[in-house]
Structure 1
């Protein structure tokens, strides 16, 4: 996935129509890479787990994740594309050394997330085809590697994530209609929940906004070549579309599982049990529901493997200019997937446990990166190509940053107690 700089974008060899056509793929790819990374197997597992625990009250956590997502993505996308620099490089320019710290955290979190994503691929293929989960994880990882080894990997990634994203949404809507959830109660508790649990919100935010997910779409958008202040309108539309797609998928998935839980079905959340989302879909549609769950879960896993590997590799480029684009970046991406795959095969932990852990971990990384970017927005506008940054967006982003710090501080002990079973 090669990146075009501003001198390449304005080349006179392209007509305006050709320019739009060649950039449309990366822009749509950025929207769906962000969306499918946010709706990964971890989020699906967490949604089923927490819906079973809190019922309709979990709708508030969904709303919180959407609001935080808006504040985060609107700022991150705009700063990265206006500056024309990836997050690690931009952070280093603002606060020397901070980009390296951010890169290390993102890569570690991305590795943990990708192990969970590959585990999710194994669970998905197990439900869809009945094959062993470890074999399914192996096949998922190898397919992702094959995609990045292809010469035109960027174009393939754009098409794959769009197809997988649309497929997940359509299948989940079908299940949500069949389960007939209590929509009225869900809407009420979206704004007036019976209970609020900060550990739950932090985990779900981490699973759908935190870690590498924060930067996936913005880094891919750079490949469109539309960088600089003159393209703010384009990045604004793209980031809004990405937030809209993820918001719809989050709420529809929640409603699909809520319908099952509200009917009186008790999902088994004990360690080693079948994935709670798979149980819900099977209760809704029988054997066909299990297959539908498998298809959705595997699509979420594969697209998230792609997103985690690509974004983590772009952060590795913070340490070496040689990894910033072209073949070296693709090799770094393949190596990242390979390491994740080997660790998954060696780990042998229950996949559902891995998926819950990585969400909480990335939720604790989120406020660190946000703090750096809010500093850039308020005090280092010289790095933003002379762009006059909207103050309302900075205020909104700063509030979200403070909120993520507060949630992280209040939930770090409960999260790791839940993970370790202590």
Structure 2
């Protein structure tokens, strides 16, 4: 197995020191990539979307979650497999298909990532404010940014990032489970409505899929594997396990949040529209629940800050060799820029909504590009992409494109 070299802090993150790919199973690395993707998805917008849609759709939101999980798995499996077999990042694959296309995608994904990261930084600040009321959200955001930057300043930044996201992701799941057990939700009703909903909300599906695997999020784990040298057909078993684990983790948190919110709503409680997730946690477990919300929000936000910065810069590496050479410094600059914009402009909720919509539009484009690349020997060599996976991927691409257009029409003309 090739050794992994940690490049100096001024330059990039981990990279393989050998031309041969990693073929042995590395639990820490694969789960780190899975948690990086999952925690990138589970941010402040994720918490808000889940509670808001649960209050709007009730138990029928279970159907939306089920459909989104299936779409997420299909999209992520296709994208991760093509990237790892091609041994290139998504934007480089796009440039191979059509010169200049990768640059356009890199710019769009990085812009969406920046918008999301401003919201993530704001969410971290609000989480700190809940835990320590004497700290304003701006001060809390600044402290959280310092913590995120510190991780990338350390010598073994790649390994530390993996472990940090695993620990914080595990803590997030544990705290959400505690609140879920405090609400006694109508699980039977939720299971029934998962297959027989009273209402189907297309915008909710687009929002959930876009917020889970749209934009930069689905590439977070795949690009982490590329940087660590996990490439080639030999790595596909690891890719399959990592991609499905990532979606499973994000989906587990989504389901637990949904059931917790459903349990509160089924008791006749109306969530506070100014902060639905905080209201849900407080109704479920009192002041302890409110403090737990602060921890959950901070954990979700800080891991999303790290994931968004890392993956957005991994797209920008194509634009100039200096970004590749000094990627660590660029990641830190990305975090600092997001924090400064939040501190002086604010409006994280509005930015999260805009970024979520952008991600919903980006997914069918990037997935379609990966599926076309899967047919080009010049990109994937002698690898044969499974037919069923390609068919599933194109169905998702068409469905997401159609639903995105419907969402745009609804937003503009209704």
Q: In which range does the TM-score fall when normalised by the shorter chain?
A: over 0.9
Q: Which moved more, 1:290-299 or 1:362-371?
A: 362-371
8 Å Cα contact 1:203/1:415 also seen in 2: no
Q: Which residue of 1 aligns with 2:333?
A: 335
Unaligned stretches of 5+ residues in structure 2: 1-12
Instruction: Verify: 1:364 aligned to 2:361, yes or no.
Output: yes
8 Å Cα contact 2:21/2:232 also seen in 1: no
Question: 1:54 Cα shift?
Answer: 1.2
Q: Provide the TM-score with structure 1 as the length reference.
A: 0.91
Question: 1:413 Cα shift?
Answer: 4.0
Instruction: For residues 262-314 of structure 1, give each alpha carbon's deviation from its aligned partner in whole angstroms, at most 9, with x where no partner exists.
Output: 11100122xxx2x2100000011111001111101100000000000000000
- The partner residue of 1:139 within 133, 139, 143 is 143
- The partner residue of 1:374 within 371, 376, 380 is 371
Instruction: For residues 164-209 of structure 1, give each alpha carbon's deviation from its aligned partner in whole angstroms, at most 9, with x where no partner exists.
Output: 1111111111111111111111111112111112112211221122
Q: How many residues align?
A: 401
Instruction: Verify: 1:109 aligned to 2:109, yes or no.
Output: no
Q: Which residue of 2 aligns with 1:27?
A: 30
Instruction: Verify: 1:399 aligned to 2:395, yes or no.
Output: yes
Question: 1:414 Cα shift?
Answer: 3.7
Q: Helix, strand or coil: the match of 2:269? A: coil
Q: Helix, strand or coil: the match of 1:181? A: coil
Instruction: For residues 77-131 of structure 1, give each alpha carbon's deviation from its aligned partner in whole angstroms, at most 9, with x where no partner exists.
Output: 1011111101111111122211111101101100001011011111211222222
8 Å Cα contact 2:115/2:352 also seen in 1: no
8 Å Cα contact 1:260/1:284 also seen in 2: yes
Q: Which moved more, 1:230-239 or 1:170-179?
A: 230-239
Partner Cα distance (2:315, 2:405) in 1: 26
Q: Which residue of 1 aligns with 2:242?
A: 238
Q: Helix, strand or coil: the match of 1:3? A: strand
Question: 1:406 Cα shift?
Answer: 0.9
Partner Cα distance (2:17, 2:286) in 1: 52
Q: Summarize the Cα distance change of 1:9–1:203 in structure 2 as closer, same or farther, 3 Å threshold.
A: closer
Question: 1:157 Cα shift?
Answer: 0.3
Question: 1:357 Cα shift?
Answer: 3.2
Q: Summarize the Cα distance change of 1:8–1:324 in structure 2 as closer, same or farther, 3 Å threshold.
A: farther
Q: Which residue of 2 aligns with 1:13?
A: none
Q: Helix, strand or coil: the match of 1:324? A: helix
Q: Which residue of 1 aligns with 2:16?
A: 4
8 Å Cα contact 1:35/1:246 also seen in 2: yes
Partner Cα distance (1:331, 1:415) in 2: 38
Question: 1:31 Cα shift?
Answer: 0.9
Give the CA RMSD over aligned residues. 1.8
Q: Which residue of 2 aligns with 1:317?
A: 317
Q: Which residue of 2 aligns with 1:71?
A: 74
Instruction: Verify: 1:118 aligned to 2:121, yes or no.
Output: yes
Instruction: Verify: 1:181 aligned to 2:178, yes or no.
Output: no
Partner Cα distance (1:212, 1:372) in 2: 15
8 Å Cα contact 1:116/1:358 also seen in 2: no
Q: Provide the TM-score with structure 2 as the length reference.
A: 0.93
Partner Cα distance (2:18, 2:266) in 1: 53
